[in-house]
Structure 1
Amino acid sequence: MQALLVSEGQPVSGETLVDEMWGESAPDNQVNALQAHISRLRRRLTSMEPERATSRLTAHPSGYRLTVHEDELDASRFLRKVRRAEDLVPSHSAEAAGLLRSALSMWRGPVFGPLPGGSLCRLTSALYEEHRLRASELMFDAELSTGRHASILAELRDAHINNPLRERFCEQLMIALYRSGRQADALDTYRRMWQRLSEEIGVLPSPSLRSVEHAILSHDPSLALTTAPTLCPSG
């Protein structure tokens, strides 16, 4: 079912469905096992929508297709909200922040919970997780643009701790700390990030992250504005 849902109305081959459902533990008679599973799934869908004239799950020459309208998928609704918010930033930051918070509130945990499925579902899960993190970054940018740095400090700290190698969260936390009168904490956050990047993946902080540190050290006036600055690398 997961593989059919993430395919968003496109047919999925029988081989893919077998791999998603059973992986290396596939039964000997894969064709019969898959057909039996499809029949059970059709009956389940029919019991959920007895008024529906035709089954959502249909067979195609290239596999099986689950008919789902875009508005019926939380994932599609989430992405639409994020795209609308992107269009609003930075001219309507407060509205964008509210829209992004609404989108992020739709999340209840990992995409497929404790059952990640096969490679197709795992790839899709990773893609949506990246969308979620990007939406969080946009939301923090919007909040910073409205001058709510103090209000989001706890959320930013959690985002940074839970995604320790994601530099944008570190940048945003540094900016929020600096604007809250905590320059030493902002610089300490940078130093710890620099150490983590060096020890865990053997790289230096990005030019963007270094530019935020430089701006804090030099008390760059742009940091005091009610915008989330995009600073150019120094040198």
Structure 2
Amino acid sequence: MLRFSVLGALQIRTAAGPAEISGDLQRTLVQTLLVSEGQPVSGESLAEAMWGEAAPDNQANALQAHISRLRRRLRDLEPDRPASRVTIHPSGYRLGVGEGELDAAEFIRTVRQAESAAPGDAARTARLLGDALAMWRGPVFGGFAGGTLCQLAGARYEEYRMRAMELRFDAELRLGRHAAVLAELTEAHTNHPLRERFCELLMIALYGAGRQADALDVFRRMRRHLDEELGIQPSPALRQVEHAILSHDPALTGDTRMPVRLQPA
């Protein structure tokens, strides 16, 4: 069985170790087929991803040549596989990917599982998401996004990564690990200064670590940043966290079964 990785530079792992896909066009072809997660991709979409507006005159023949090259490469990596992974369909070309073979699909599955976890299952959620986030080896596709399909998929994977970070931080705070996550939360908030959930969680972590003044200072800076960059005020959820800190609401550092995001009164 092969394992395909796109949460970082494109990589194909075999039982013998990682295998390279050489050439920008071949990498773009593989990535575009992978992000479709087993659904056929039209020849036009593949050509757009590979060549953009600089497609060769014999585009169909050139694409078929690259498909044949990819088939040979995958066959060399799986000599015992009875049929080619790359198949032709009326609607285009398909790369067969089994369950557990694409890291991005496994990552999204884990995040969705964490989203539906019970509030009292914080320890398992934190561990599960910590392992999932460790799957990321760098920017999606190693920063080599390719065409539109890959760019859209990359944005989707990145959004799931942000969601996984939020859920993991939330779980860690439920467990009372306020000081332990401060460095990571500060980095996340710094790297994504307009993402309010990171700000909320950082404020709660600071308060739980005994740094109320710093928590309120984070809110003031966030309010100023939102006003200057977007011309908006903090969301009700963010203002509610500020109010909870000012009133020393026990829900901020209380029972781990209590949701970190406070509910409106």
2:111–2:163 CA contact under 8 A, matched in 1: no
SS in 2 for 1:99: helix
- Tell me: CA distance 1:149–1:89, structure 2 relative to 1, closer, same or farther (3 Å): farther
What secondary structure is seen at the aligned counterpart in 1 of 2:45?
Answer: helix
Alignment of 1:109 with 2:138, yes or no, is: yes
- Distance in 1 of aligned mates of 2:227 and 2:49: 37
Counterpart for residue 183 of structure 2: 154
* Residue equivalent to 2:171: 142
Matched, 1:123 2:148: no
Q: How does 1:1-235 map to 2 (within 5 A)?
A: 1-227=30-256, 228-232=259-263
- Any conservation in 2 of the 1:5–1:66 contact (CA below 8 Å)? yes
Per-residue deviation, 1:35 = 0.9
Cα deviation, residue 233, structure 1: 5.2
Offset of residue 166 of structure 1:
0.5
TM-score (norm 2): 0.85
Q: Distance in 2 between matches of 1:199 and 1:70?
A: 46
> Distance in 2 between the 1:164 and 1:226 partners?
29
Q: Is the 8 A contact 2:173 2:260 kept in 1?
A: no
Q: Deviation of residue 155 (structure 1)?
A: 0.8
> Considering only aligned residues, what root-mean-square deviation do their CA atoms show, in Å?
1.4
The offset of 1:232, in angstroms, is: 4.0
> 1-side partners of 2:56 and 2:264: how far apart?
57
The alpha-carbon deviation at position 229 of structure 1 amounts to 2.6
Q: How many residues align?
A: 234
Q: Please report how far the alpha carbon of residue 215 of structure 1 lies from its aligned counterpart in structure 2 after TM superposition.
A: 1.1
Paired amino acid for 2:91: S
Q: Distance in 2 between matches of 1:167 and 1:120?
A: 28
- Percent identity, aligned pairs only, is 66
Q: Distance in 2 between matches of 1:153 and 1:190?
A: 15
Structure 2: distance between partners of 1:16 and 1:27:
14
**What TM-score do the two structures reach when normalised by structure 1?**
0.95
| In 1, Cα distance between equivalents of 2:31 and 2:141 | 8
SS of corresponding position for 1:216: helix
Deviates more, 1:34-43 or 1:8-17: 34-43
The answer to whether the 8 A contact 2:122-2:174 is kept is yes
Other-structure match for 2:4 = none
Counterpart-to-counterpart distance in 2, 1:207 and 1:87:
24
Measure the CA separation in 2 of the matches of 1:91 and 1:13.
Answer: 46
Greater RCO structure (CA 8 Å; 6+ sep) = 2
State the distance in 2 between where 1:124 and 1:130 align: 10
Residues 21-55 of structure 1: CA deviation (Å, up to 9, x unaligned): 11122212211111111111111111111111111
- Which region of structure 1 is more displaced relative to structure 2, 173-182 or 18-27? 18-27
The unaligned stretches of length 5 or more in structure 2 are 1-29
Distance in structure 2 (CA, Å) of the matches to 1:229 and 1:31: 55
Give the direction of change, closer, same or farther, for the CA distance of 1:224–1:91 in structure 2 (3 Å limit).
Answer: closer
